[in-house]
């Protein structure tokens, strides 16, 4: 059976035009997908049943037992952390937050190790953005800064920017200028009209120089800024100022390099400055397919996009204190539930070591680095393949992922609902 307009649950592009062929409970082919999508749909290395540790080894267990054991671990803990959420649908995220509420737990999503600094900058100065179709239909200048879409978001250029013809740009590839800013010549830089190579750690200075030029202060620019020549800075600034509609996309190269949230603030303020002359927008290249959804769901329930601590009864937010990496490195947590992410692979070593010391439970379809740190793993259906639910694209557009076949695994929602019910019973009214 071929299914049209399938939504890809891999990256923040959330492409929704895949054609997937299914035989029984197996995907046999994927059309329109990038290599990442193909691997996501076709790769099948799922854990078969829930497992938990007994002695030095793993032992298979039942869903009921694994969920009951998880509930007891969480209820016994003084400082539980519920982490992850970016790889599941919004309905499951919502239950997770309410679970944290009754546990008085910390709840955090993967923004903590990706665009957390971007969120901090947005909370300082705001975010001039738009949906990706605005860029596709209008943008005549596009900048990728600290991001390599050809590798990390393979269809971003073909669906939304460089290769995407739009209403006001009938021949996008010719009519649209592409600027790539990076510390190395990436695949994306190879096709740029202008490649700006910055010395590592020099983003803030280059952004400041561009802001000064846009403000009409060319005279104060030194011959070279962080390895970028004054001539090139002038050339780039002129390109920006001549745009009818410009779009800046930035990645972790800007967010997680020296300067962090201040880099993003500077980039947003450059965007704001450009809006006094023409139309400009800026947007983070979000990684997980539903990391933005986790920010949205967290926000409407708790008021904050990530790093929420319910220990005081109210929702308390203080990144740097209530962010997972900080809490784990202080060895503060005494239990952790990981849902739909892989902190074992992405967190600093000290945090991973602490996760291995405390009872950590993982709800995830696949065996991954976190499995090795965990006491229990509960496999679930993969949202977008054998489960469905809401996802938010990197620009905030909500799309419902599809269930392609009914498999034997329960969804994240089903497992979390059962867990929530048991915890509620233990905790009482």
Partner 1 sequence: MSEFLIRNAYVIDPLSGIKGEIMDIAIRNGRIAEEVGSNAEVIDADHCLTLPGGIDSHSHVCGTKVNFGRYMSPEDMRAGRTARKGVMHVTSGYSVPTTFGNSYRYSVMGYTTVLEGAMAPLEARHTHEEFTATPHQDMLANTLFDGNWSIMEAVREKDMKRAAAVVAWTLSAVKGFAIKLTNPGGTEAWGWGEDVHSIQDQVPHFGVTPAEIIQTMIRANELLNLPHSVHLHCNALGVPGNYRTTLDTIDLVPDLNDKRQSLYLTHLQFHSYGGSTWKDISSKSEDIARAVNNKPAVAIDMGQIMFGRTTTMTADGPMEFKLYMLHHNKWSNHDVELETGSGIIPVYYSRKSLVNCVMWAIGIELALLVKDPWRCMLSTDNPNGAPFVKYPEIIALLMSRRFRENEIALLDPRTAHYVPLPAIDRELDWYDIAVMTRAGQAKALGITGIGKGYLAPGAEADIAIYPLKPESLDPSAEYQQVMAGFGKTRYTIKRGRVVARDGDVVVEGANSTIWTRSTVPPGYDLSVDPEFMKKFEQYYTVRMSNYPVQDVYLPRGICIPTEASL
Interacting residues toward partner 1 by CB under 8 A: 4-5, 7, 16-17, 90, 94, 98, 101-102, 119, 122-134, 136-138, 159-160, 166-168, 244-245, 272, 275, 278-279, 281, 295-296, 299-305, 310, 312-315, 317, 390, 392, 396-400, 429
Do β-strands 335-339 and 279-284 pair in parallel, antiparallel, or remain unpaired?
Answer: unpaired
Cβ 379 vs Cβ 364: under 8 Å: yes
Nearer of residues 242 and 275 to partner 1, judged by Cβ:
275
Nearer of residues 159 and 286 to partner 1, judged by Cβ:
159
- Alpha-carbon distance 393 to 153, whole Å? 12
Cβ 351 vs Cβ 332: under 8 Å: no
| Distance in Å, CB of 265 to partner 1, minimum | 10
Residue 359: count other Cβ atoms within 10 Å of its Cβ. 21
| Distance in Å, CB of 125 to partner 1, minimum | 5
- Alpha-carbon distance 41 to 107, whole Å? 29
Nearer of residues 83 and 310 to partner 1, judged by Cβ:
310
Residue 279: count other Cβ atoms within 10 Å of its Cβ. 16
Taking each helix axis from N to C end, the angle separating 203-214 and 230-242, rounded to the nearest 10 degrees, works out to 60
Nearer of residues 288 and 354 to partner 1, judged by Cβ:
288
| Residues, the chain | 429
Residues 6+ apart with CB under 8 A from 289: 8, 9, 10, 11, 12, 14, 86, 87, 384, 391
Nearer of residues 281 and 285 to partner 1, judged by Cβ:
281
| Distance in Å, CB of 71 to partner 1, minimum | 19
| Distance in Å, CB of 126 to partner 1, minimum | 4
Do β-strands 398-401 and 389-392 pair in parallel, antiparallel, or remain unpaired?
Answer: antiparallel
Nearer of residues 298 and 409 to partner 1, judged by Cβ:
298
Nearer of residues 243 and 352 to partner 1, judged by Cβ:
243
Nearer of residues 123 and 329 to partner 1, judged by Cβ:
123
Nearer of residues 342 and 388 to partner 1, judged by Cβ:
388
3-class secondary structure, 182: strand
Cβ 88 vs Cβ 113: under 8 Å: no
Cβ 382 vs Cβ 83: under 8 Å: no
Cβ 391 vs Cβ 296: under 8 Å: no
- What long-range pairs does 326-333 form, CB within 8 A, spacing at least 24? 327/79, 327/81, 327/106, 328/81, 328/354, 328/355, 329/354, 332/79, 333/77, 333/79, 333/80, 333/81, 333/106, 333/358
Can you list the positions of beta strands (E) in 236-314?
245-250, 279-284, 308-309
Nearest to 260 by CA among 149, 393, 113: 113
| Distance in Å, CB of 131 to partner 1, minimum | 5
Nearer of residues 46 and 98 to partner 1, judged by Cβ:
98
Question: 288 is written with which tokens?
Answer: 């997980």
| Distance in Å, CB of 296 to partner 1, minimum | 6
3-class secondary structure, 29: strand
Nearer of residues 169 and 382 to partner 1, judged by Cβ:
169
Largest Cα separation within the chain, whole Å, is: 71
């Amino acid at each position: 059976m071929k299914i049209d307009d399938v939504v890809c649950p891999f990256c923040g592009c959330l492409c929704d035009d895949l054609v997937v062929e299914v035989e029984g409970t197996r995907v046999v082919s994927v059309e329109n997908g990038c290599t990442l999508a193909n691997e996501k749909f076709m790769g099948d290395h799922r854990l078969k049943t829930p497992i938990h540790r007994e002695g030095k080894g793993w032992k298979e267990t039942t869903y009921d037992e694994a969920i009951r054991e998880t509930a007891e671990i969480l209820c016994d803990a003084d400082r539980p952390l519920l982490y992850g959420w970016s790889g599941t649908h919004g309905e499951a995220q919502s239950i997770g937050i309410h679970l944290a509420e009754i546990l008085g737990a910390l709840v955090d999503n993967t923004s903590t190790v990706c665009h957390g600094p971007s969120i901090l900058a947005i909370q300082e100065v705001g975010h001039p953005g738009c949906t990706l179709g605005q860029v596709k239909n209008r943008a005549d200048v596009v900048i990728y800064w600290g991001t390599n879409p050809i590798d990390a978001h393979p269809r971003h250029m073909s669906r939304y920017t460089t290769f995407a013809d739009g209403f006001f740009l009938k021949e996008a590839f010719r009519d649209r200028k592409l600027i790539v800013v990076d510390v190395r010549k990436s695949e994306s830089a190879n096709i740029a009209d202008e490649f700006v190579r910055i010395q590592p750690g020099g983003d803030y200075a280059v952004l400041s120089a561009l802001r000064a030029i846009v403000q009409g202060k060319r005279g104060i620019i030194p011959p070279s800024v962080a390895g970028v020549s004054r001539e090139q800075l002038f050339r780039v600034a002129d390109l920006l100022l001549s745009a009818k509609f410009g779009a800046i996309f930035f990645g972790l190269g800007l967010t997680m390099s020296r300067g962090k949230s201040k880099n993003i603030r500077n980039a947003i303020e450059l965007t704001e400055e450009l809006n006094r002359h023409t139309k400009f927008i800026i947007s983070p290249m979000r990684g997980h397919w539903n990391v933005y959804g986790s920010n949205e769901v967290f926000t409407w329930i708790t008021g904050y996009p990530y790093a929420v601590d319910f220990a005081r009864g109210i929702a308390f937010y203080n990144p740097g204190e209530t962010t997972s990496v900080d809490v784990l490195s202080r060895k503060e947590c005494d239990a952790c539930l990981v849902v739909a992410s892989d902190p074992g692979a992405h967190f600093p070593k000290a945090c991973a070591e602490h996760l291995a010391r405390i009872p950590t439970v993982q709800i995830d379809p696949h065996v991954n680095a976190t499995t090795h740190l965990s006491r229990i793993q509960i496999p679930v259906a993969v949202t977008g393949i054998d489960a469905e639910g809401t996802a938010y694209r990197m620009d905030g557009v909500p799309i419902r992922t599809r269930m392609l076949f009914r498999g034997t695994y329960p969804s994240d929602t089903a497992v979390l609902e059962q867990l929530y019910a048991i915890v509620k019973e233990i905790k009482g009214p």
